[in-house]
Amino acid sequence: MSKIGRNSNTERLERFNKIWASVNELDVPVIVEGKRDILAVRQLGYSGELVQLNDGKSILHTVENLAKVLGIGSKFVILMDWDRTGIKLAKALEKYGVSCDLSPNLQVWRDLMSLCSKDITCIEELPTFVSMLKQRI
């Protein structure tokens, strides 16, 4: 592999680590789509609160429950997949979050999408993405 390729993968891994560290530093609930996403996020070392969106309840119910538990003005991170459905869910979570006087964080999602979307399309693939970058360094 060329030196440029190694540097590129090194830089991408460093960028991922910086984004992921910011998630841990926020210390707020992270909303993911499903069980596999929870496993992936845990595999990457996140030990904070995770909320599974696809639990049989509506998006609004999930957000209202967060507002009840966390309180007005509280923050949460949205980590949906980067496919059409994930984008719709992220926008709905943001909309409902704001309407419930919460502060949804989409920046982490946007940063990860920018970094990873050419290689993977979903949160559950993040550990594989990180492994791939490490192997290519």
All domains of the chain, ordered by start, with CATH?
3-132 (3.40.1360.10)
- What is the value of pTM for the model shown? 0.91
Within the chain, strands assigned E span: 30-32, 50-52, 75-79, 103-105
- Has residue 4 got a pLDDT over 90? no
Q: What is the pLDDT of residue 77?
A: 98
- Has residue 69 got a pLDDT over 70? yes
For residue 57, what are the contacts with CB-CB under 8 A and spacing of at least 6? none
**Distance of alpha carbon 46 from alpha carbon 52, whole angstroms:** 14
